[in-house]
Structure 1
Amino acid sequence: MLITLATMKKLHPNQEKLIHILRESIDDPLTMFELMEELDVASTSVVHHHVKQLEKKGFLKRNPSNPRDYQILEDPEKPITYINQYGLAECGPNGTILDGSPIDRIPIASRILKFPTEKAFIVVAKGDSMEPRISSGDFIIGEKTTLANDGDIVVCVNEEKALIKQLYRKDTVNILHSFNTAYPPFISAEDFKIEGIVRSILKNNI
C-alpha cells in the first residue's frame, strides 16, 4: 500500500520529497551531503532535521549503528504499539514459539523499535546462561526472521526447546554460545531454527 494523499498532507513539502528520494535510493543509500543536493537545501543540518521529523512521525526507521540502513514505512506507526509476548516453552517436533496465542500483549513506544512493529515479539528470559548481559526475567524484544549473522543473539528452537543464544557458524555448522562461561558452547541439533534476532533487552530489576 502506498502512502496516501491524506497522510502526505501531514508532512512538510521537503519531507514528502525526502521520502521519495529515500525510497528510490534504498538499494544504494545517499550520504547526507547527497541528500542535501537532491533536496536543494542550504545545509546537511536541514536534511538531518527533516530525517528526524520523518522518524518522529513514524514514516522512517533507521539502524542506529548504521544510519544508511533504513526502512520506509508506508503508513505512519502509532506512538504506542502492542507487541505479542510468547513463552519460552518446549515446542514439540517442528514447533515454534511464535505459533498459537500470545500469553500477553505489552505496550511499547514504537520509536524504540528500529524495525517495523509488525515484526516484533517479546519473550521473557529464563535461567542464567546469558548473564551478565541477559538475566532471568528480562524482557527480550526480538525481530522475526529466519536469518542471522555471526555474533547475533538469537531466539531459537533447538532440540524442541526455545533458547536465547549467541550464534556463530563454522562452515555449515551452527554453534550456540552462552555469555555465562559456566555453560560451554554446543553444536545445534537437526531441528534448529531461528525465530528472530534479539534487538532490545529491557532489564527487569524487580
Structure 2
Amino acid sequence: MKALHPKQAELLEILKANISDPLTMEELADRLNLSAKSVVFHHIKQLEKKGYLKRNPANPRDYIILKDPEKNVIYLKMYGMAKCGPEGTLLDGTPTRIVPVDPSMIYFPACKGFMVEAKGDSMQTLIAPHDWLIVEQNHSPKNKDVVVCVNNGEVMVKRFTKDGENVILQSENPQYNPIIADRDSFHVEGIVRSIIKRSVSC
C-alpha cells in the first residue's frame, strides 16, 4: 500500500474519528487548515486510489475505512435489523456502530462488507441472538446460502432456497415454518460470510 502524504494521514485520522457522524467538506477543510475544499477532495481521492478509503458515489459522506496504517484492521458498519419501509433497504439506515475487524476475517472486497446483530432464535443453533454477522453485500445468493434479506419490510436472516419460481426462506430452528418470499417486496441485502459468537452455551 502506498505511503501517505502528511495531510492525507491527518485526514484519514479525522475521517476515522468522525465515521459515525461524517463531516462536510467545509468542516474537513477547517480541521486540516486548508483554504479550499478542492484540496480536501484531492486528498480524499488519493486515499481512495491508495486503498485506504471507499466512498459511496451517491453520498460522499458515506464511507468505509479499508485500512488503518497504524493497526492491521478494517472498519465495518453494523446495522440494526429494524423494519424497513416498502422500498426500504437495511443499508439506508443509520449504522448502530463501527466495528474494527481483522482483515483475515474478510474473504471478499472490504468495500462490500457490513455487519448486523442477530435477533430472535429462528436460526438457532447456527446463529444465536446477539451474534454478530459479517455480511457480503451481494444480491445473487446460491441455494442454501444464509442471507440477510428484506421481506414485506421485515429484515431477517434466513437460509435461501429457490423452488421453481418461488424463493423459500428457511429457519434453522424447526419450530419456525418456512416462508414463501413475497415476489414484489423481497430482496437480498447480502450473504452471511462469518459469524462472531457473543455467548457460549455449556
TM-score of the pair, normalised by structure 1: 0.62
Letter paired with 1:95: G
- Partner secondary structure for residue 177 of structure 2: coil
Per-residue deviation at 1:159? 1.0
Q: Which one of the candidate residues 95, 98, 108 is aligned to 1:102? A: 95
User: Which residue, 126, 130, 143 being the options, matches 1:133?
Assistant: 126
Structure 2, unpaired ranges of 5+: 4-50, 52-65
Structural RMSD (CA): 2.0
112, 118, 122: which one pairs with 2:115? Answer: 122
* 2:172 matched residue in structure 1: 179
2:146 paired with 1:153 = yes
Look up the SS of the partner of 1:98 in the other structure: helix
2:196 paired residue among 194, 199, 202: 202
Change (3 A) 1:100 1:128: closer
Amino acid in structure 2 at the alignment position of 1:152:
D
1:23-44 deviation line (CA, Å, top 9, x unaligned): xxxxxxxxxxxxxxxxxxxxxx
Partners of 1:205 and 1:151 in 2: CA distance? 25
Task: Supply the AA of the counterpart residue of 1:192.
Answer: F
Specify the alignment match of 1:48 in structure 2.
Answer: none
Aligned residues: 136
Instruction: Tell me the equivalent position of 2:57.
Output: none
Letter in 2 for 1:91: C
Q: Given residue 118 of structure 2, which amino acid in structure 1 is its aligned partner?
A: A
1:132 partner SS: coil
Contact 2:118/2:132 (<8 A) preserved? yes
Q: Flag as ranges the 4+ runs of structure 1 deviating above 4 A.
A: none
Distance in 1, Cα, partners of 2:164 & 2:97: 39
1:90 aligns with one of 78, 83, 88: 83
- Residues 32-78 of structure 1 show CA distances to partners (whole Å, capped at 9, x for unaligned) of xxxxxxxxxxxxxxxxxxxxxxxxxx9xxxxxxxxxxxxxxxxx955
What's the counterpart of residue 144 of structure 1? 137
- Residue 118 of structure 1: SS of its match in structure 2? helix
One-letter amino acid matched to 1:198: V
With the length of structure 2 as denominator, give the TM-score of the two structures: 0.63
- Note the 1:1-80 alignment, pairs <5 A: 77-78=67-68, 79-80=72-73
3-state DSSP class of the match of 2:91? coil
User: Distance in 2 between the 1:93 and 1:187 partners?
Assistant: 17
Residue 101 of structure 1: CA displacement? 2.3
Alignment-mate amino acid for residue 145 of structure 1:
N
Same amino acid, percent of matched pairs: 40
Q: CA deviation at 1:112?
A: 1.1
State the alpha-carbon separation in 2 of the partners of residues 178 and 158 from structure 1: 14
Q: Secondary structure at the match of 1:147?
A: coil
- Structure 1 residue ranges without an equivalent (≥5): 7-57, 59-75
Cα contact 2:79–2:93 (8 A) shared by 1:
no
